[in-house]
Structure 1
């Protein structure tokens, strides 16, 4: 099963946006993330609707953060992305006729629900500001500065 990496990718984009003094175009973000600008625009549109980013058109336009990093949690971004499934594992069949498989599904479902509850609770307690502090700590340990272009140079 293919993993959904949108949350990781968009968190990456948002932290880069926080480091830039001005707007970033979909083309610039797409180049850094090695994807298509249309994918960036589609993903960012959901974040714009949730009030986390804003976009400007024309010369000097692009994407900027609309809220402070302290106000945005990982849970907020997860929800803005449509609350994608958190786990790539699941039941073999959802409505089995076999009583053994029903027992297995019940046990797995309970575990999945509990794990999801714990993970979402954790996401709710982590802000983008905390991720930014971690990034800056790692950058300082490396002893340098980093631009979007430097970070993603091939």
Structure 2
């Protein structure tokens, strides 16, 4: 099963954007991510709608980060890129009258809700600024950025 990497991919892009005072075209971002510019525009549209990036057209145009990195959390970005379902694990509903299925589903549902709450709390506690500061603390200013 393929995982949804939109969040980590967009965090990657946003941190690159924060490190450069120039716009990034959809083509440049697509090359960075190994994807299609149409996919980039579709994903970036959610970030633009949330007010985290802007898009300029024409010569010198492209995507720019326009948010305060200290105020935007990983959860904010998760939601802006479409907030994909956090877990692929699900519960079975083939036999709703089966008492065994009911017990299993209740236990699974409870565990999944608790795990999701913890993950969402953690995403809400980390900002883009935190990631940028961690990068700056761990890598020299001339570090190669991919």
Same structural fold, with TM-score higher than 0.5 when normalized by the shorter chain: yes
* Separation of aligned partners in 2, 1:57 and 1:89: 42
Q: Which residue of 2 aligns with 1:145?
A: 142
SS in 2 for 1:51: coil
Q: Which residue of 2 aligns with 1:44?
A: 44
Aligned residue runs from structure 1 range 1-150, under 5 A:
1-93=1-93, 96-140=96-140, 145-146=142-143, 150=144
**Could you list the per-position Cα deviations for residues 74-130 of structure 1 after superposition, in whole angstroms to 9, with x for gaps in the alignment?**
011111122211112222337634221111111010111111111111111100000
**Which 5+ residue runs of structure 2 have no aligned equivalent?**
none
Deviation at 1:136, TM superposition (A): 1.5
What is the number of residues matched between the two proteins?
Answer: 146
Q: Displaced runs of 4+ in structure 1, greater than 6 A?
A: none
With the length of structure 1 as denominator, give the TM-score of the two structures. 0.88
TM-align CA RMSD: 1.5
Q: Do 1:75 and 1:120's aligned partners in 2 also have CA atoms closer than 8 Å?
A: yes
